[in-house]
Structure 1
Amino acid sequence: MNTDNLVERLKLLGWSYTADQLDGLLEDSSKNNVSYSEFLYTLLSNEIEYKEQLELEKRIKKARLPYVKTIHDFDFPFQPSLDPKRVNEVLTGRYIHNGENIILLGPPGVGKTHLAISMALEALTQGHTALFITANDFISECRKAHKEGLIQRIIKRYCRPDLLIMDEIGYFAFDEVSAHTLFQIISKRYEQGAMILTSNKSYVEWGKIFGDDVLATAMLDRIVHHSTTFNIKGGSYR
């Protein structure tokens, strides 16, 4: 049977992946005496899996992760202060549905960013949207947006995804504009959008980070109210 017409119609449906695989699928089905229903199921499954993979790749690209690492790459024995069961609970994604936050605290080099990325990657795999930003890049974006009168655009951008990941809070001091912008984002996401935050500073030091004890307290009230905190006390990987 000439499959050219089938290929043409599959491509009209937007099923280019299946169209390219059709000859091999037909050959395998013929060899294995596969029923019509089984063949159709295989056809549909392959196309769905392909489209889901494409969508995942798009979500990962839009998330702007600095690199991709899974939880399987994390060395738990090296960080005995971390309970793998608590981490696995986060990986279920329930905190996203509940609009809760994950806070990763600890000195430089203990794996906070790795954990944040692996948690974000799992969320993306589950179909959620995410956006990653370092605190320093956020400060720079806010300064530029303030000069151009586009702060509201920044707020909308970081309120949009299901999960916001802000890394390295505490390495650089926030100025007034970036501190108040972040406060507005946190307020709008409160009980609505989940966040993962990493910091090398304890909560008592956040007043210095944001240059305002009252503002820092207001932020922490909203962040910590529905949250899970991991204090990582092990050695540095570096």
Structure 2
Amino acid sequence: MNHKDIYEKIALFSKELKLPYILRHFKEELTEANKDSKTYDTFLYDLLEKEYDLRKDNGRKSRIRSARFPYKKYLEDLIIEDLPEDARNKVKVFSTLEFIETGQNIILAGNPGTGKTHMAIGLGIKACNVGYKVLFTTIPLLVNELKESRSEKNLRAFEKRFEKYDLIIADELGYISFDKEASELLFTYLSLRAGRKSTIITTNLSFERWDEIFKDPVMTAAMIDRLTHKSYIVNMNGNSYRLKETKRWLEEQ
């Protein structure tokens, strides 16, 4: 078999075996290996390592896309001293992602603009980078999806998808109130994860005001009890992080 036939077969095998790095680069890798007089085992090791690295990187990018983040924010971009004191004390602990491993929740509660969503997305992206399955949603969007799934009798399928995530970020609890159906659905599906899988909730309301959203005091108490059990509760009240960020940006222009 001549070189042309061999190369065609390598390309075919790489395509069939879904080895995109080898498919695109095997010729230049062969040239480089011959130039450097690589042994067969070193050549094979280097080639497979690059294929493996590409697959890992593609998986990381796919997890970030699938998470549906509204925009990208990174923990490294947080200006720690601008965060409320309680967040400053806990962000380092959260960044280990141990809370996901132990199935603990994080509730970021405080006035708007103090860095709740930035911190939540930063933790979510870091989780995606190390291999966790993450979903970002707002509470209003989640409620709409639950209602649509119920009306189309697809709640069981939604439940299976909902349970597969290692981390769910549920943003903006408190911006709108819910009717009885929405409250029951939200209670049921957030409770499903309690104690097993992690959820980060951002809210602008203190717990005493959650009955303004859910209307039913008994359900509200049960929801708070389930979500806060063995959870991290972070006081995010403070000066606007977003305003400080904007002022800093304007000063740099």
Q: Is TM (by shorter chain) over 0.5?
A: yes
- Which of 118, 122, 125 pairs up with 1:121? 125
Alignment match, 1:109: 113
Cα deviation for residue 169 of structure 1 reads: 0.2
Aligned residues: 238
Distance of 1:159 and 1:197 partners within structure 2: 16
Q: What is residue 216 of structure 1 aligned with on the other side?
A: 220
Q: Counterpart in 2 of 1:139?
A: 143
- Conserved 8 A contact 1:139-1:175: no
Query: Post-superposition shift, 1:45?
Result: 1.1
Task: Give a deviation string over 1:62-107, Cα, whole Å, max 9, x none.
Answer: 2111112211122222225255562232222221121110111121
1:232–1:41 CA distance, 2 compared to 1 (3 A): same
Residue of structure 2 in register with 1:194 after alignment: 198
Structure 2: distance between partners of 1:55 and 1:24: 25
2:69 touches 2:121 (CA, 8 Å); kept in 1? yes
**In 2, Cα distance between equivalents of 1:235 and 1:35:** 61
Superposition CA RMSD, Å: 2.1
Contact 2:103–2:195 (CA under 8 A) maintained in structure 1:
yes
| Mapping for residues 49-64 of structure 1, pairs under 5 Å | 49-64=53-68
Aligned to 1:107, the other structure's residue is in SS state coil
Shift of the alpha carbon at 1:156? 3.6
Aligned counterpart for 1:180 among listed residues 159, 173, 184:
184
1:130 to 109, 131, 134: 134
Residue 211 of structure 1 aligns with an amino acid whose one-letter code is: K
1:26/1:197 Cα in 2 relative to 1: closer, same or farther (>3 Å)? same
Structure 1 letter corresponding to 2:218: V
Q: Secondary structure at the match of 1:14?
A: coil
Give the % identical residues. 33
Change (3 A) 1:175 1:165: same
2 CA distance for matches of 1:231 and 1:32?
59
Distance 1:228 1:152 in 2: 29
| Contact 2:66–2:135 under 8 Å retained in 1 | yes
Q: Is 2:238 the counterpart of 1:234?
A: yes
Residue matched to 1:6: 10
Contact 2:149–2:155 (8 Å) recurs in 1: yes
State whether residues 143 and 185 of structure 2, in contact with CA within 8 Å, keep that contact through their aligned partners in structure 1.
no
Gaps of 5+ in 2: 244-253
When Rg is computed on C-alpha atoms for both structures, the one with the higher figure is 2
- Per-residue displacement from partner, 1:103-157 (whole Å, max 9, x unpaired)? 1112111111111111111111121111111011122223333443444444443
Aligned partners of 2:84 and 2:239 also within 8 Å: no
Give the letter aligned to residue 131 of structure 1.
L
CA contact (8 A) 1:132 1:164 kept: yes
CA distance in 1, matches of 2:57, 2:20: 14
- Give the secondary structure class of the aligned counterpart of 2:38: coil
SS of structure 1 residue aligned to 2:136 = strand
Deviations along 1:170-212, whole A, 9 cap, x unmatched?
0111221121112111222121111011000111111111111
> Which shifted more, 1-10 or 170-179?
1-10
Specify the SS of the correspondent of 2:43.
Answer: helix
Give, in whole Å, the separation in 2 of the partners of 1:41 and 1:146. 51
CA distance change for structure 1 residues 214 and 75 in 2, over 3 Å: closer, same or farther? same
Question: What does residue 44 of structure 2 align with?
Answer: 40
**C-alpha contact 1:168 1:200 (8 A) present in aligned 2:** yes
Q: Answer yes or no: is 1:93 the counterpart of 2:97.
A: yes
**Matched position secondary structure for 1:128:** coil
